[in-house]
Amino acid sequence: VLLQQLISTISNWKNDLKTPAQAAAEAKGERDRIFAHCYGLYDSHLKACNVLDFDDLILLPTLLLQRNEEVRERWQNKIRYLLVDEYQDTNTSQYELVKLLVGSRARFTVVGDDDQSIYSWRGARPQNLVLLSQDFPALKVIKLEQNYRSSGRILKAANILIANNPHVFEKRLFSELGYGTELKVLSANNEEHEAERVTGELIAHHFVNKTQYKDYAILYRGNHQSRVFEKFLMQNRIPYKISGGTSFFSRPEIKDLLAYLRVLTNPDDDSAFLRIVNTPKREIGPATLKKLGEWAMTRNKSMFTASFDMGLSQTLSGRGYEALTRFTHLLAEIQRLAEREPIAAVRDLIHGMDYESWLYETSPSPKAAEMRMKNVNQLFSWMTEMLEGSELDEPMTLTQVVTRFTLRDMMERGESEEELDQVQLMTLHASKGLEFPYVYMVGMEEGFLPHQSSIDEDNIDEERRLAYVGITRAQKELTFTLCKERRQYGELVRPEPSRFLLELPQDDLVWEQERKVVSAEERMQKGQNHLANLKAMMAAKRGK
């Protein structure tokens, strides 16, 4: 944490055009003095290696233009006209660079929206829009108020919300796309129920309206909120893509465990076998694996199957062969157990390979190892649910569960820059500049949006701008969700609805009423009826 604070502080100093000497001179406490000293050491190291970091790409040209009149005039004459986009997100050094490039002639155009400034934590200063009119008195302001994306109702909600913030330039967005449907607010018991509800709503909406999955976006304040949505989307075979974050199934520890399970359910999977054979380390060296691979290839067998051949001991020997034998025999035992008790088999697999100890040995910190093991336990928990089944879902076999997970992994590896038909999951920050017909803004609770750190720092205005950005991503329909209780840092909390929900025009919101308690039998019957209706509709469609 301290290292991250140091990196962030040095970056902010560079964004504010402060050299190590200036940072040291302005240091107000012991922490600042130590950080300024580290800044000086870091800067010396960069120069010694003849390299620049990202912030230097703005800092150094700006300082050069400030100090060298000849260079400044040359570039001012070279640039006839300057265009700057997303101006509200400029920091001090970027603003100064623009001023130095345009000079007194001031031939430039900037585009910005102070209501969408959501990067103050990166040094962005929306007040740079105010400085523009001071530094360039002849500045002409053109307001672009017609919105070509969202319905009138969505824009009304966004306008009323952001009106609670102070403004550099007053504006009011309008749309000619019609007023649109009411905004929905769905309440859930907890985060699992929230993800289940959103997935259910999305499936029903997709089926009834014959939409594409890429028409939907699930937006959240923090990356950690995505995991439970991944679980329910994956279980319901809904294709999805996480933008700007790491998918749960892309994490190394999850890929490791899935590779073990792939070998258990498909002994012919050589790629999975090669991933796990030395994870954790077992002293099975490259030479041993090369000989095993050659042996298996000549006999048209998988490497796992070939490891049990009686004649293999003539080709392999020593510690490598002994380690290989111990490993494959352990897998074979778990394989036999999996046929009778799959849940116990997976549990024994995790404990039997001592994966947790290996994580603590190889992770950068005990906290990182703890988080990675928590992911493994989460995957085991999901698998247990799928293997046991529920009132609406029949129990799955281990092979079916692994196939479901593997399919998700294959989809991720097959993803490219081309647009695929997938539900989009992303943070509100990552959604900026994008648009979707149907948007779910989840976790609309105090402590989430606005974030607790912003509440503590009295920085609600930026959180409100973040909510404004989320609302204005929606083109046709917008749904908010919140939980009655949620687990945070191991404790169960009962959050209040987000103040931003209460600031929206209530006439345009439909708050879901409490639903009557439905018995297990009613839920089962409803599920069976729904399934029967779907089958009948599909059969009728095929008959046409």
Query: What are the chain's domains?
Result: 2-53 (1.10.10.160), 58-135 (3.40.50.300), 183-247+403-511 (3.40.50.300), 252-394 (1.10.486.10)
Share of the chain above pLDDT 70, in %: 91
Q: What is the pLDDT of residue 158?
A: 92
**Mean residue pLDDT across the chain:** 85
Question: What confidence score (pLDDT) does residue 424 get?
Answer: 92
Backbone angles phi, psi at 497, to 5 degrees: -55, 145
Q: Reduced to 3 states, what is the DSSP secondary structure of residue 84?
A: strand
Q: Could you read off the pLDDT of 354-394 as tens digits, one per residue?
A: 888 888 888 888 888 888 898 888 888 888 888 888 777 78
Q: Which pTM does this prediction carry?
A: 0.70
pLDDT at position 151 is 93
pLDDT at 436 over 90: yes
Edge-first strand listing for the sheet containing 474-483: 240-243, 423-427, 216-220, 436-441, 474-483, 183-188, 509-511
Residue-wise pLDDT tens digits, 477-529: 999 999 999 887 778 889 899 999 999 999 999 998 644 444 445 445 445 54
The confidence score (pLDDT) of residue 493 equals: 87
Please give the pLDDT value at position 242.
Answer: 86
Cβ contact 229:198 at 8 Å: yes
The yes-or-no verdict on residue 134 having pLDDT over 90 is no
pLDDT (0 to 100) of residue 249: 80
What is the SS3 assignment for 217? strand
- Confidence band (pLDDT; 50, 70, 90) for 412? low
pLDDT on residue 195: 93
- Please say if the pLDDT value at position 408 is more than 80: no
What DSSP letter does each residue of 492-516 carry, written as one string?
A: EE-PPBPHHHHHS-GGGEEEPPPPP
On whether the CB atoms of residues 495 and 455 are closer than 8 A, the answer is no
Least confident of 44-53, 123-132, 298-307: 123-132
Give the best-scoring range by mean pLDDT among 331-340, 477-486, 525-534: 477-486
How high is the pLDDT of residue 516? 40
In SS3 terms, 429-492 reads as HHHCCCCEEEEEECCCECEECCEHHHHHCCCHHHHHHHHHHHHCCEEEEEEEEEECCEEECCEE
pLDDT bracket for residue 223 (50, 70, 90): confident
Q: What is the pLDDT of residue 528?
A: 52
pLDDT tier, 216 (very low <50, low <70, confident <90, very high otherwise): very high
pLDDT band at 415 (very low <50, low <70, confident <90, very high): low
- pLDDT, residue 455, reads 86
Is the pLDDT at 189 greater than 70? The verdict is yes
**pLDDT on residue 204:** 92
pLDDT at 535: 52
Tokens for 270, please give them.
């050589």
Q: Two tokens at 90?
A: 């400029």
- Phi and psi based region of residue 107 (left: phi greater than 0; alpha: psi -120 to 50; beta: remaining): beta
Percent of the chain beyond pLDDT 90?
Answer: 29
Q: Once rounded to an integer, what is the mean pLDDT over residues 321-344?
A: 88
Work out the number of other CB atoms within 10 angstroms of the CB of residue 61. 16
Axis-axis angle for helices 318-340, 286-298 (nearest 10): 60
